[in-house]
Chain A
């Protein structure tokens, strides 16, 4: 009896150290942040000295036009980068899924932008966008076109372009992996059935890649909501609030405005948004697994 009990407890005992570290390293700061978001908290105070204000920070943000603006920028940024990256990434994968000479070198080159540190990417693009000595405007000069105020009037577009440059490879490699794991014979059957290259993509390749594409898009979306360094280096959120995405606003609220409570509340809003996306992703996975299990059960029932 005692041994049986000990046996049942053993796995939990082995898991305990990891669980304790997780609790300290993950749950404690998270709880600290949630706790702080209910207080009017200045960086010079300890959290205990700060006044408890209930939901005041959340209500304030709910009505704050600057927060709305920032959230709007974030949503626009995320929507455009993910949409455009998906189209280009999947398109490239469809184009490069073939055996031609030097293809592996080409694939490696496509993945390079992803390997560069975000700060470096930000600096690089900032110099390329420079109004007078930047690569783009010098090029426009040389072919006799008017200069573009990249990081001024078109700041959001410019940071979106930089993000697309950096993160399209991520979607490209995942799509390529998905494409290469497609059943070859189904594609051959489609050729014999009379499908053109375009029809193969529409009717066979894309539908079969869809589960991977949905997860990839969600991963990118979650990432796009948290982007900070590249934009910080390129525009610092400006001009005005035109590129001030949420992560940047949170950082400025905490450091410049010295409103730790508000910053914590804002973080929680972002966290809730990301949680919804993550839960959505898990739900999608579960739904797929459940469907596969149901099909298997059906087959076994018959045989």
Chain B
């Protein structure tokens, strides 16, 4: 299935530039997820690949063939829309077979294909229904089946799960993951939900403000975010950020700020020593703080627990560190009373430092 390459892709609406030269390569059979907050340009990028938006500058290559001047139908792609975009006046079978009927394929082939994809997504009993008589999850399946029936090399998804309720979304996410393993296609998936991105992607592309911030495997993005935006966007609950100053004391490097004083060690200490600026932001994920009364004070944060959010096996504690808020993920069994001041050991491998001016990781 084809490779896709975006070469310096630019989109302007009038004088406003919303995409500033996107460079991206998507290998064969790769599940790429474009993720970012709303307005970051991810949907625009997808719609430009689909041919639904004009390209202002740059070029899109599919297997090294420029396609930006082609109509959507000439680009060998299928797309699943956020609102499903079913044809309300056609029944499920007609919806699924629309592209094939337009292409004037033989009837027997169309019937076989409809049967095949309907079985794949579990719609066999609903082929005679109109979309109006289907539930949200079923409509989503019809949209998926319609895309599958086309047998295109490229599969585009524009926030396909965001109109479903939470439980159904989880279920459909799992089905999507299963489907992407079965059908070997080049899939590009747009979402604002970082959990969808983490669970589905071979590769995540984080976008913000019309720029690509970082791309890589889910693990790379989670463990080694290149800047403060990516660090804060990936992971739930989000990473804690504390402004601080780097200080050298007796050969060791410390980061100190309002309500904390932390000795750095290992890899991050080396990076901090080499860094030119002293003004930094300390980033620690809620899961990298562990409740430990006897922790070494130079390796720990002392926090005032204010609110405890019980979410089952885990609880999220909202705490104060000086004037800043810090979230901590703890086992629900941990005996915590509100208003207590507790010590949490910091996992040194989970310490991130960002230059405060540029917000780039050290």
Residues of A within 8 A of B (CB): 183, 185-186, 188-195, 199, 203-204, 207-208, 292, 295-296, 298-299, 302-303
Contact = CB atoms under 8 A, between A and B. Distances in A.
Contacts of A186: 85-88
Given A185-B85, A195-B102, A207-B89, A302 B78 contact: no
B187 interface: no
A13 B130 CA distance: 45
B83 A208 contact: no
Contacts of B130: 295
B295 interface: no
Contacts of A208: 88-89
A88 B177 CA distance: 50
For the residues of A in contact with B, the DSSP-based class is helix
Nearest to A298: B133
Interface stretch (B21-29, B69-77, B205-213, B227-235): B69-77
B99 A295 contact: no
B237 interface: no
Contacts of B89: 207-208
Contact of A192 (B77, B103, B134): B77
Contacts of A189: 79, 81, 85-87, 146
Q: Chain B contact residues (Cβ within 8 angstroms of A): what range? A: 20 to 34
A196 B161 CA distance: 29
A302 B89 CA distance: 21
Given A203-B98, A302-B135, A194 B85 contact: no
Nearest to A195: B102
The 7 A-B pairs of least Cβ separation, nearest first, read A185-B85, A194-B73, A193-B99, A189-B85, A295-B133, A207-B89, A295-B132
For the residues of B in contact with A, the DSSP-based class is loop
Given A183-B83, A186-B86, A188-B50, 14 more contacts: A183-B88, A188-B52, A188-B72, A189-B81, A189-B146, A192-B51, A192-B77, A193-B98, A194-B99, A194-B103, A195-B73, A195-B102, A207-B89, A299-B132
Contacts of B84: 185
9 contacts: A186-B86, A188-B72, A189-B79, A189-B87, A191-B71, A191-B72, A192-B50, A193-B98, A292-B132
A131 B21 CA distance: 67
B72 A192 contact: yes
* Residue among A188, A195, A295 having the largest count of chain B Cβ atoms under 10 Å: A188
B332 to A, nearest CB: 33
A190 B78 contact: no
A302 B146 CA distance: 23
A188 B83 CA distance: 12
Contacts of B52: 188, 191-192
A303 B132 CA distance: 14
Contacts of A183: 83, 85, 88
B98 A190 contact: yes
Nearest to B86: A186
Contacts of B150: 193
Interface string B48-85: 00111000000000000000000111000111011111
Given A192-B72, A193-B98, A195-B102, A185 B135 contact: no
A185 B102 contact: no
A22 B103 CA distance: 59
B152 to A, nearest CB: 9
Contacts of B135: 299, 302-303
Contact of B83 (A185, A192, A298): A185
Contacts of A298: 133
Nearest to A187: B85
A192 B133 contact: no
B78 A192 contact: yes
A49 to B, nearest CB: 60
A193 B82 CA distance: 16
* Residue among A186, A192, A203, A302 having the largest count of chain B Cβ atoms under 10 Å: A192
A200 to B, nearest CB: 10
A99 B52 CA distance: 15
A183 B73 CA distance: 19
Nearest to B77: A192
Given A292-B132, A295-B130, A199 B102 contact: yes
A185 B50 CA distance: 13
A139 to B, nearest CB: 43
Given A192-B50, A192-B72, A193-B98, A299 B81 contact: no
Nearest to A206: B89
Contacts of A204: 87
B123 to A, nearest CB: 13
A194 B82 CA distance: 20
Contacts of B133: 295, 298-299
